[in-house]
Amino acid sequence: MAFKERVFSGVQPTGNLHLGNYLGAIVKFVALQENYDCIYCVVDMHAITVWQDPAELKKTTREVTAAFIACGIDPQKHIIFNQSQVAEHAELAWVCNCVARMGWLNRMTQFKEKAGKDRENVSVGLFVYPSLMAADILVYRATHVPVGEDQKQHLELSRDIAQKFNNDFAESIRSHGFGDAFFPLPEPLIQGPATRVMSLRDGSKKMSKSDASDQSRINLTDDADTIALKIRRAKTDPHPLPSEEKGLEGRPEAENLVGIYAALQGVSRADVLKQFGGGQFSTFKNALADLSVAKLGPIGAEMKRLTQDHAYIDKVLAHGSERAQAIAAETMKAVKDIVGFVRR
């Protein structure tokens, strides 16, 4: 069965948005709006799988919304909203919980990393996070999901849940007139030179909002001097840049900075090395600092301006929630019929 093409993705309001979120996800959100109907969600229900200060959660929810708009997403043409305002996400998540198997969730590496040794004490929500993520996508019957590399496994789980639902309820799906499959198998979109941006302090760790060191990431709201300083201080090795990609092997910090330059400039890593290979790191870092300031500076300034305008941001979220809910409610009606719930 051919499904209507639709893009869905989400970002957690858990702190400062950084260059990794931007290159791994938001840049793609912006590009996809040319050719698809897009739904972009501030996933506040995912955020509370670890404790959040309530006032801070409201602030970061508005900041992420401002970032979406400042980066170029059009909230009139596409949908921007926060997850908690469309109750169907939680409703479908319950169905997803009942379809997903314990063994599948037990294999999720992000849960293992986030829970660490404290597994008994983390929230149940953190464990079933991937099942809520599946519901986020499936409630819109989305066909394409732009994400960073770290979300690949969760996307595969979403596909498994969709497939199992389609199989488990095949007869009911058919008898309700939905053909061979009710949910599309959502396709991850993870291409590009910076699908996993690494920490500026440690090339083996992902750039992350929750890293204790602010020097490890470039925040979208950092000013020009801070961006330049963080790049000049980024960890590197003593060797000059290689002229070919093969020479980046075993040099995670160099590889990371080359990937960032390539993604910001919209060229390949090979192109970057053609230009800077053989030269000193300091020359390359200066060029990267200038490029980063040129690309991120205007976004940060617009984010700050928009974040102050609560009335506007809240209006965008309210309008987006209404539009999102109209789609989600249709899906839930069908899911209830398919599963066998008697409806009012």
Rg (CA), the chain: 21
Nearer residue to ligand AQP within complex by CB, 21 or 83: 21
- Name the active-site residue from 28, 206, 230, 295: 206
For the question of residue 304 being annotated catalytic, the response is no
For the question of residue 333 being annotated catalytic, the response is no
Give the residues across from 36 on adjacent strands. Answer: none
Beta strands in 180-324 (DSSP E): 187-189
Measured CA angle at 89 (ends 76, 164), to 5 deg: 120
Least separation in angstroms between CB 123 and ligand AQP:
14
Least separation in angstroms between CB 126 and ligand AQP:
11
- Name the active-site residue from 58, 59, 114, 164: 114
The DSSP code for 12 is: -
Least separation in angstroms between CB 182 and ligand AQP:
25
Interface residues toward ligand AQP, by CB under 6 A: 11-12, 14, 20-21, 24-25, 147-148, 150-151, 195-197, 206-210
DSSP string over 104-156: HHHT-HHHHHHHTT-GGGS-HHHHHHHHHHHHHHHTTT-SEEE--GGGHHHHH
> Judging by DSSP bridges, how do beta strands 37-42 and 187-189 pair with one another?
unpaired
Nearer residue to ligand AQP within complex by CB, 260 or 332: 260
Least separation in angstroms between CB 115 and ligand AQP:
12
Closest CA to 328 of 90, 26, 61: 90
Nearer residue to ligand AQP within complex by CB, 21 or 331: 21
Nearer residue to ligand AQP within complex by CB, 148 or 300: 148
**Distant-in-sequence, close-in-space partners of 73: CB < 8 Å, separation ≥ 6:** 26, 29, 30, 33, 38, 40, 80
Q: Which residue has its beta carbon closest to ligand AQP?
A: 24
For the question of residue 209 being annotated catalytic, the response is yes
- Name the active-site residue from 152, 164, 205, 209: 209
Q: Catalogue the active-site residues.
A: 114, 206, 209
